[in-house]
């Protein structure tokens, strides 16, 4: 005979009731596999509940709990808590969600870990609140009450709509009670599996019980950073229809895994989250082809810059010479803090024109779509050019050029002021990095400070994989201060910065030199080469071997005819006015076997994943610049045969 006493939970009260009954330390988690919202995708809706949750650091957990207790009891308006490494993210307690503080990124659900399922996943806030309220109403010292009591939730959850408590810390959530008294007896005896009992077994735990295990899971994922450049081969092959269907299916799964690892690694939170001292703020502006990997959406550039930040910290930790630079500058935490913060500026999604072939122009829907005017031949190549080249065409059109410069200026200033607000006392230097078209945008902004005014002075300006050289050549503009003897119709431009750098890979088809635009005689001299930072990994060793082979071939091609000489003082003066070293162009040598189209595409998008680039940027940012008295250059020899 079915004999059930079902107690219906009372309507839920305010959050302050919930908080007042929880006094032990709790874990805080965020979802990593299913976002709640996506920027630039207003119609996005999650198709399932998140299944993967990562724990915040112990420091974040303690601060979140303390703030939550205060917020829940007083219901103050301020509900954002800065969290994660360098406080780059916020937890919104009112909506229980995690989002990036400085750039557009997916928003993820946050859960306060009190009740967990058998896979150590925290239950939702609504379900947890009902469980806690019902638990507070039960007398666990009176077995008779438990034998005749089943709680029915006020709503149906994914796990079920009924709960049976075994003890204070164990319960089963059920979809139904078809098994009657037998099912209840098996549950209370705790001798059968949840699957046979048609229920979900849940546990109540505290901070000490679960934190260690969750941290191990997070640390494991942090070692699996995904690289955008790893996928360029498959992107290009797919555009030309070369991938076999089975291989494409496997690669698609691999891409999804990489994307998830990217999101998890970007929310790096196991180090100290207290705001460290920052003396150098670096703002990075992206360039063309940000829609090339459409499946990565906004994760693309923000994730890449997160990688650059991680590389800089790793390099600093392993470099006594870099640490000494901060020591000389009098920084108290010079042993473990590089004192540099790197943030992305993502402008492309704010510009109306869409490179999606079928997307309508939001500014004038009567215009045809890109697909309407596309010729049918070599569609793969056309799609690639559409992703990479259209942004350059946009910047050549006055309407979009004005819009892009205005938008980038606004975002840079807003990010700068937001950083100052979140980093009280910051009075250090600000540096700019522009990648590809981003460098040209920054160049024009810095050359027109009367119109596109930045709210700070720029120390170092790094152009990376930059087409500035060819643009300025077409515009009949030279670089540097004007000279009296030059032709009247020849323009000279000088960006407002202390030091200008032009970094490029010799295989990058988008990059051009700048020094010959300062003085045409610089075309006869080689650019400088970035020193290679040797690592211990097999990949690093292969790159070192490849670089050595290239260097040997390069030297042989010159037939030992290199001629080192001191640069003419007139040219040197023009160059040192732009960079204290007297050189602007710095190149990475080509890696091992980098000779094909795919390698060229990789070269253009992989700068921020390169440890040599990160090492050079960090060294130049931290160094105290002293103007070079003389500049030694090498003649550029033309290869023959």
Instruction: Give the mean pLDDT of 530-539.
Output: 60
> Which pLDDT value is given to residue 304?
86
pLDDT higher than 60, residue 20: no
Beta strand 429-435 with 280-285 is parallel
Q: What's the confidence (pLDDT) of residue 162? A: 85
Residue that is last in its domain, among 185, 209, 233: 209
Phi, psi (rounded to 5 degrees) for 108: -120, 150
The tokens for 315 are 């390099």
**Residue 109 pLDDT class (50, 70, 90 cuts):** very high
> Regarding predicted confidence, which is higher, 57 or 17?
57
Q: Confidence class of residue 565 from pLDDT cuts 50, 70 and 90?
A: very high
Q: Is residue 49 part of a domain?
A: yes
Structural domain that includes position 114: 6-209
Q: Is 436 tagged catalytic? A: yes
Which of 187, 209, 231 finishes a domain?
A: 209
Within-domain flag for 435: yes
Helix (H) or strand (E) holding 541: helix 538-557
Of the two residues 256 and 377, the one the predictor is more confident about is 377
Tokens 């609504």, residue located? 126
Segment 581-639, tens digit of pLDDT: 999 999 987 664 455 556 666 777 788 889 999 999 999 999 988 999 999 999 987 65
Instruction: Judge if 198 and 292 occupy the same domain.
Output: no
Question: And the tokens for 391?
Answer: 């942004």
Residue 241 pLDDT greater than 70, yes or no:
no
For the segment 154-199, what is each residue's pLDDT rounded down to a tens digit? Answer: 888 988 888 888 888 888 888 776 655 555 666 666 655 555 556 7
Residues 205 and 281 in one domain: no
Predicted pLDDT at 231:
52
Region of residue 572 (phi > 0: left; psi between -120 and 50: alpha; otherwise: beta): alpha
Q: How confident is the model over 472-525, as pLDDT tens digits?
A: 999 999 999 877 666 667 788 999 999 999 999 988 888 999 999 999 999 999
Three-state DSSP state, 605: helix
Residues 290 and 184 in one domain: no
pLDDT digits (tens, 9 = 90+) for 444-454: 999 999 999 99
pLDDT at residue 262, rounded to an integer: 61
557 plus 457 within the same structural domain: yes
Quick check: is 214 in a domain?
A: no
Q: Indicate the residue among 190, 209, 228 that finishes a domain.
A: 209
Does residue 59 sit in the same domain as residue 175? Answer: yes
Say if residue 159 is in the same domain as residue 291: no
Q: How far is CA 638 from CA 263, 530, 555, 561, in A?
A: 46, 21, 12, 11
Calculate what percentage of the chain has a pLDDT beyond 70: 66
Task: State how many domains the chain has.
Answer: 2
pLDDT band at 233 (very low <50, low <70, confident <90, very high): low
| Angle subtended at Cα 413 by Cα 408 and Cα 414, rounded to the nearest 5 degrees | 95
Asked if residue 446 belongs to a domain, the reply is yes
Q: What is the pTM of this model?
A: 0.83
Q: Would you say residue 345 lies in a domain?
A: yes
Q: What is the CA radius of gyration of the chain?
A: 30
Mean pLDDT of the chain: 77
Residues 145 and 287 in one domain: no
For residues 407 and 528, state if they share a domain: yes
Is there a domain that residue 580 lies in? yes
Q: Residues 57, 229, 436, 599: which is the catalytic one?
A: 436
pLDDT at 506: 87
Model pLDDT for residues 64-74, shown as the tens digit of each residue: 998 888 887 77
From the centroid of its chain, how far is CA 549?
34
Residues 487 and 590 in one domain: yes
Please determine, for residue 116, whether its predicted confidence score (pLDDT) is greater than 90. Answer: yes
The verdict on 468 and 600 lying in the same domain is yes
Provide the pLDDT for residue 71. Answer: 84
Q: Is the pLDDT of residue 288 over 80?
A: no
- Tell me: do 318 and 450 sit in the same domain: yes
Q: Which stretch, 13-22, 122-131, 263-272, has highest mean pLDDT?
A: 122-131
The answer on pLDDT for 351 being more than 50 is: yes
Q: How confident is the model at residue 254 (pLDDT cuts 50, 70, 90)?
A: low
CA distance 531 to 610: 12
Identify the band that residue 377 occupies on the pLDDT scale cut at 50, 70 and 90: low
**Structure-token match 């039960």, residue found:** 138
Does residue 223 lie in a domain region?
Answer: no
| pLDDT classification of 289: cutoffs 50, 70, 90 | low
* 217 part of a folded domain: no
Over range 430-443, report the average pLDDT.
Answer: 96
At residue 415, the pLDDT reads: 97
pLDDT at 346: 87
- Does one domain contain both 286 and 187? no
**Do the Cβ atoms of 551 and 589 come closer than 8 Å?**
yes
The sign of the dihedral angle between the CA atoms of 203, 206, 211, 213 is negative
- Beta-carbon contacts of residue 359 (< 8 Å; ≥ 6 apart): 369, 370
Residue 505 sits in a domain whose CATH number is 3.40.50.1820
Least confident stretch, 339-343, 404-408, 586-590: 586-590
Q: For residue 26, what pLDDT band results from cuts at 50, 70 and 90?
A: low
């Amino acid at each position: 005979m079915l004999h059930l006493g079902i107690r219906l939970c009372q309507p839920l009260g305010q959050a302050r009731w919930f908080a007042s009954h929880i006094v032990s330390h709790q874990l805080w988690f965020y979802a990593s596999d299913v976002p709640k919202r996506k920027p630039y995708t207003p119609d996005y809706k999650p198709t399932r509940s998140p299944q993967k949750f990562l724990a915040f650091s112990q420091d974040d957990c303690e601060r979140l709990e303390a703030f939550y207790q205060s917020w829940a009891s007083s219901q103050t308006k301020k509900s954002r808590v800065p969290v994660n490494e360098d406080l780059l993210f916020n937890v919104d307690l009112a909506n229980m969600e995690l989002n990036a503080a400085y750039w557009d990124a997916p928003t993820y659900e946050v859960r306060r870990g009190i009740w967990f399922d058998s896979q150590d996943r925290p239950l939702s806030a609504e379900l947890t609140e009902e469980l806690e309220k019902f638990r507070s109403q039960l007398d666990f010292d009176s077995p008779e009450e438990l034998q005749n009591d089943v709680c029915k939730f006020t709503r149906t959850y994914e796990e079920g709509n009924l709960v049976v408590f075994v003890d204070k810390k164990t319960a089963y959530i059920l979809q139904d009670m078809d098994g009657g008294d037998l099912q209840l007896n098996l549950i209370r005896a705790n001798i059968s599996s949840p699957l046979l009992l048609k229920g979900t077994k849940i546990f109540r735990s505290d901070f000490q019980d679960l934190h260690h295990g969750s941290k191990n899971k997070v640390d494991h994922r942090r070692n699996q950073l995904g690289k955008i450049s790893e996928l360029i081969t498959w992107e290009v092959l797919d555009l030309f229809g070369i991938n076999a269907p089975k291989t494409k299916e496997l690669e698609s799964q691999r891409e999804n895994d990489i994307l998830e690892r990217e999101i998890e690694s970007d929310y790096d939170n196991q180090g100290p989250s207290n705001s460290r001292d920052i003396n150098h703020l670096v703002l990075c502006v992206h360039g063309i082809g940000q829609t090339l990997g459409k499946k990565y959406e906004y994760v693309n550039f923000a994730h890449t810059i997160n990688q650059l930040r991680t590389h800089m910290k790793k390099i600093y930790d392993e470099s006594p010479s870099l640490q000494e630079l901060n020591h000389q500058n009098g920084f108290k935490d010079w042993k473990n803090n590089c004192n540099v913060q790197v943030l992305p500026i993502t402008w492309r999604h704010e510009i109306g024109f869409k490179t999606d072939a079928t997307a309508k122009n939001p500014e004038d829907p009567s215009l045809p779509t890109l697909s309407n005017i596309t010729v049918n031949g070599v569609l793969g190549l056309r799609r690639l050019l559409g992703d990479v080249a259209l942004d350059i065409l946009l910047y050549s059109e006055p309407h979009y050029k004005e819009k892009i410069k205005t938008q980038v200026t606004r975002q840079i200033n807003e990010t700068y002021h937001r950083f100052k607000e979140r980093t009280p006392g910051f009075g250090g230097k600000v540096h700019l990095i522009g990648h590809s078209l981003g460098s040209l945008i920054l160049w024009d902004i810095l050359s027109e400070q009367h119109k596109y005014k930045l709210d700070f002075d720029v120390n170092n300006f790094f152009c990376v994989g930059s087409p500035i050289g060819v643009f300025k050549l077409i515009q009949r503009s030279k670089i540097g201060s004007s000279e009296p003897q030059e032709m009247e119709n020849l323009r000279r431009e000088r960006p407002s910065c202390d030091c200008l750098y032009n970094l490029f890979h010799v295989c990058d088809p988008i990059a051009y030199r700048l020094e010959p635009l300062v003085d045409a005689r610089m075309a006869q001299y080689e650019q400088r080469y970035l020193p290679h930072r040797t690592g211990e990994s097999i990949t690093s060793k292969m790159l070192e071997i490849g670089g050595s082979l290239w260097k040997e071939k390069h030297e042989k091609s010159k037939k030992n005819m290199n001629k080192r000489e001191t640069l003419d003082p007139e040219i040197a003066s023009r160059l040192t006015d732009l960079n204290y070293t007297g050189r602007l162009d710095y190149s990475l040598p080509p890696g091992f076997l980098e000779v094909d189209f795919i390698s060229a595409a990789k070269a253009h998008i992989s700068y921020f994943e390169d440890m040599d680039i990160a090492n050079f940027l960090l060294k130049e940012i931290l160094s105290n610049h002293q103007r070079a008295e003389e500049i030694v250059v090498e003649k550029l020899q033309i290869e023959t045969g």
